[in-house]
Amino acid sequence: MATSRTFMSSNLFIFFLVMATTNGQAPAPTPSGPTNITAVLEKAGQYTMFIRLLKSTQAADQINTQLNSSSSQGLTVFAPTDNAFSGLKSGTLNSLSDQQKVQLVQFHVLPTLLTMPQFQTVSNPLRTQAGDGQNGKFPLNITSSGNQVNITTGVVSATVANSVYSDKQLAVYQVDQVLLPLAMFGSSSAPAPAPEKGGLVSKGSAPSGDDGGDSTYSSDTERIRYGLISTTMAAIAAYFLWI
């Protein structure tokens, strides 16, 4: 009997201990509030540069406003990783105007929501928020084979690595290259190449040190030097004739 009471007391003690522990634990908070593109990318990690561009161009605010609009058809965002940005030629972003930076970000955003299976049936070129691809300035073409999705812009070719986030309004996909639009980075938009070494330096310019002394600047210097010597000799000759 004593053993039975001890057993019951132990069970009651464990029961109340479990109840107290359960009631003392608060449930994990569920995500609330409107969808936020920068919050999605910050949680995923490795998108620091793209987030910085989204914020500096105010494209993040525009995307969030569209996502939470009642008339929104959803958005698809191709997010380049920090490694993708590090693969750009040095000074690429700094060479862009503010308007071009906005267009660069918008080129990574489609005005409709696309799921992975839908990539297999899209019609190229796709329209981005930077403009219509039909005019040849902002073409974005997608090819899909099985689970592999490739993107071409006329400048770079990128691969959709994986899905970062998706809900009923937003789909975010990781890409391994920064998507460079043809209108901004095509061959006709490329800066003129620097002159080759050994070329002539314009008259009156300082010598470069790599020109081997064959520049116009050197020729002018020699002519001046010989002119001064000739003038001096003529003056000396005239002096002796005078005396």
Q: What SS3 state is found at 12? A: helix
Q: Is 221 within the bounds of a domain?
A: no
Q: Is 130 within the bounds of a domain?
A: yes
Q: Which residue has the higher pLDDT, 4 or 85?
A: 85
101 in Cβ contact with 68 (< 8 Å)? no
CA atoms of 177 and 121, how far apart (whole Å): 23
Q: Bridge-partner residues for 168, per DSSP?
A: none
Half-sphere exposure of 48 (CA within 13 A, CB side): 4
- 94-152 pLDDT per residue, tens: 999 999 999 999 999 999 999 999 999 999 999 999 987 666 689 999 999 888 999 99
CA atoms of 103 and 138, how far apart (whole Å): 9
Q: Is 213 within the bounds of a domain?
A: no
CA atoms of 133 and 215, how far apart (whole Å): 49
Q: Is 198 within the bounds of a domain?
A: no
Q: Range of 121's domain?
A: 37-180
Q: Is 112 within the bounds of a domain?
A: yes
CA atoms of 38 and 29, how far apart (whole Å): 20
pLDDT at 72: 82
Mean pLDDT of the chain: 75
Q: Is 209 within the bounds of a domain?
A: no
Q: Which pair of tokens denotes residue 25?
A: 């634990």
- 166-206 pLDDT per residue, tens: 999 999 999 999 999 999 998 644 433 333 333 333 333 33
Amino acid residing at 66: Q
The length of the chain is: 243
pLDDT at 150: 97
What CATH number should be reported for the domain holding residue 91? 2.30.180.10
% of the chain exceeding 70 in pLDDT: 61
Total domain count for the chain?
1
Q: Is 75 within the bounds of a domain?
A: yes
Q: Is 6 within the bounds of a domain?
A: no
